[in-house]
Amino acid sequence: MRRSNNFACLLLSVMFLPACLSRDIITVGTITYPGKTTLVSAGERFELGFFSPSGISDSRRYIGIWYYGSNPRIIVWVANRDDPLISSTASFGLVDGNLKLWNKTQTIPLTDATGSSSSTRLAKLLDSGNLVLSEDDGSKRILWQSFDHPTDTFLPGMLMNESFVLTSWASPDDPKQGNFTFQMDQEGGNNNYEVSLQKVSPYWKSGVYGKFIQADQMLDVISFLLSNFTTGTTAALPSPRTSPPSRYKSITWPSDNNYNNSRLVMNYDGQIKYFRQGNGSTPVWFEPASNCSVFSACGKFGSCNDQNDIKTMCRCLQGFEPAQPDNWKLGNFADGCQRKSPICAGNSDHRIRDFLTLKMTRAGRPDMQISVDNEEQCKQKCLDVCTCRAYSVKEDLQQRAERGNLTCYIWSDDLDNIQESAPNGCNLSVRVRLSDTAVAGNNGTRGGSSQKRQEVKHVYIVASAGVAIFILVFGSLFYMRRQHGSTQGRRESTRENPDFRLYDSEKRIKMWMDSCQFEEEDKKGIDVPFFDLEIILQATNYFSDENKLGRGGFGPVYKATFPGGQEIAVKRLWSGSGQGLEEFKNEVVLIAKLQHRNLVRLVGYCIKGDEKILLYEYMPNKSLDSFIFDRTRCWLLTWEIRFEIILGIARGMLYLHQDSRLRIIHRDLKTSNILLDEEMIPKISDFGLARIFEAKQTEASTQRVIGTYGYMSPEYALDGFFSFKSDVFSFGIVVLEIISGKRNTGFYQSEGTMNLLTHAWKLWHDNKALHLMDRVLHETYNRDQVLKCINMALLCVQEDPCDRPMMSDAVFMLGSETAILPVPKKPAFAIRMGISTTSSSSSKPESSAVLSTTLEGR
């Protein structure tokens, strides 16, 4: 019966070939041009046939699929987009089991399916718009389908995977492959897509802003379409109430049936467009929606504004300049902008000290987001890290019940995709030099606004007033010095000889320390400025809490901003802190005489009545302990950074012990006394307990033991003896804390180890030293360096001071690749007792007492 039907069709095809075509199936018949024969899907949704794009005048012929009844035709697939038939006649059909296109002179094969007998094959146009070539032998095995070979349109039922690509038409009337492609973003993660120019350069990307801004993201309704309705096991569609906010108000979540009428088109002009039934040729969503939506339209650190024309839409942020000025003049902004000065420079004049706030702005995906209670916390998080470029704070309603109801977004990499006056934009605070905030709109392609010029005017007024105040203050100081001209004159002869001056200075230091008074005459022997208390009060806003940076063992530390923008850390000593005049004078003179890149620099001092104030260079990254003991910030310290910090501390201690004119024992080395500058260079601070040794002196004793439990060597804590080896012991503890990320004091393990030192020795003895390492270092650590540092640290904490290395030995061990380190002996262990103290000092304990190192004294 089957054979008789096929024979009848074949017979009729000789006389009336089109009559053997089912409306949606091709078996042995063909579709010809000219002629009105087409394939129409069973539900009359799609139609296949010959077409010529509107607007062409030549004889190019294409076979394609379009929406049935659409006028003008909405083409969704083209079989021969790059090989049109140039002829007034053309045919399309099954030849030897494969789809082909031909005329009198050309034959274009469209499929190349091999397998069983070609006489049992058929081609069918489905209601999904898919043209399927399959076996007609009962198996219905699909040999080829048009959905696997898309052109510029994505239809429901297509499978979006890593190899799926939509390619635009070359122009509105030319179906050949154009310049733009749409596919999954290979680097952007799941459910992110990109439009590329000439398959190389990104032109637009979804997911650029992450959760920071939702405006230009791929809408959920479109992502669901591209996922082939498999985003969940039940594929339940969200309700309209939970659809994401969008400037495209006409988009609502479609029903299952309406989804079948959706389509996504890669347009010839580079826009990816989403269409729905009833909208015809008008999209309800498209990206890029403007010139500023183009990926990295203005390059790095370039800000885009849609309100300007194409040649002036970009400008560099304040503090930046075009990387290629000539290209910017031509309207080519791809090279972006570069800083006029480094963000992290050693010179304090170039430090990044302020933030430029951009209103209603978008920027590329943030590198980190955390919960905060207020904007000041977010700002401080950015200031704590040298590489932080910008921050933004946004209310997070989902976190109201949690710790904070604000989300802090931080950018560490170069800023890109910056848009001004953007829909749903947020305030973006970009890190710049203080001087840059005083210059509004002087870079880029646009001038500043009147508001910015007004801000500049105010800044100049304040700066001028500040300069006047400084002139008055230092003029007064100069006049006071002139009043003591006779005394000064007697000293001029000694100042001509540097060696004699140094000797005199050291002599005065010792005499001053032995005295109990701070006389006006003493100020002349100090090489740092004396600051008036009133100026300090104004710079700290009268020691307001908002300027407080923290609290040390001897008093609070404040951030002071002086006229001209100079930032200084101000340490205000409590009258009842235990640090008296002796420690104060000690710190002022010693730091003034010590100059090393790994020692904090004293900027000035003030003493008036009960007020004793020290002014230091400002360290934006605060102290080392605020990083290594913080489970969030510790990730910022890679092993490379930690190793450089260890080296820096060792070099600073070597300078104190051996290389400086004044041989110094610090006596209070600990992680909280290691400050970090913008480049994470360590600076040893707090010299209030330091002592000067004579040239040949190696040890001393005291009846007044002052220091921090957990860092004090046993001979100092128990008997009051201190030496250079006491600092070496403290250095060893600091190194173990840097490696492990845990404090020596308050460290308890189930095995009974009461402090970090005991734990480290046990792991070393069991050949498990690497288990001591902080888990955040597992991806960045250098095995040999970590083991070398642990070995060196255990050598530094040996019980007998004679067994401990000198700091010169420690620096050599750390810096040498070939040095063979000795095997450490058992360190000085402390037996825990029920001693509880919060005092910063203690009187000398009895020799029979055992001091607990599980408690901090400072």
Q: Which residues are catalytic?
A: 668
Residues 720, 726, 731, 732: what is their CA dihedral angle, to the nearest 10 degrees?
-90
Report helix, strand or coil for 394: strand
Q: How many angstroms separate the CA atoms of 512 and 618, rounded?
A: 28
CA 587 to chain centroid: 38
Question: What angle, 0 to 180 degrees and rounded to 10, lies between the N-to-C axes of helices 724-740 and 783-796?
Answer: 140
For the chain, how many residues are written?
858
Please name the helix (run of DSSP H) or strand (run of DSSP E) that holds residue 611, with its range, or none.
Answer: strand 611-617
* Strands 352-361, 193-197: pairing kind: unpaired
233, 248 in Cβ contact below 8 A?
Answer: no
Q: In this structure, what token pair is assigned to residue 444?
A: 């880029």
CB atoms within 10 A of CB 777: 21
Neighbouring residues of 470: CB distance < 8 A, sequence distance ≥ 6: 563, 564
Apex 448 CA angle, 435 and 426, nearest 5? 85
CA 74 to chain centroid: 45
CA-based nearest residue to 739, from 763, 716, 715: 763
Q: In this structure, what token pair is assigned to residue 451?
A: 């508001």
Report helix, strand or coil for 110: coil
Q: Which residues pair with 101 in a beta bridge?
A: 92, 108
Q: How many angstroms separate the CA atoms of 367 and 312, rounded?
A: 29
Query: What would the 3-class secondary structure string for 411-443 be?
Result: ECCCCCCEECCCCCCEEEEEEEEHHHHCCCCCC
Q: How many angstroms separate the CA atoms of 339 and 342, rounded?
A: 6
Please name the helix (run of DSSP H) or strand (run of DSSP E) that holds residue 379, with its range, or none.
Answer: helix 375-383
Q: Which residue carries 């509105």 as its tokens?
A: 172
Contacts made by residues 185-193, CB under 8 angstroms, sequence distance 24+:
186/162, 191/218, 191/223, 191/226, 191/227, 192/218, 193/218, 193/226, 193/272
Residue-by-residue DSSP string for 130-169: -EEEEE-SSS--EEEEGGGS--SEE-BTB---TT--EEEE
Rg (CA), the chain: 39
Q: Report in angstroms the alpha-carbon separations of 412 from 158, 368, 457.
A: 39, 8, 32
Q: How many angstroms separate the CA atoms of 371 and 77, rounded?
A: 48
* Strands 841-843, 75-78: pairing kind: unpaired
* Strands 418-419, 302-304: pairing kind: parallel
27, 20 in Cβ contact below 8 A?
Answer: yes
Q: In this structure, what token pair is assigned to residue 459?
A: 């800044």
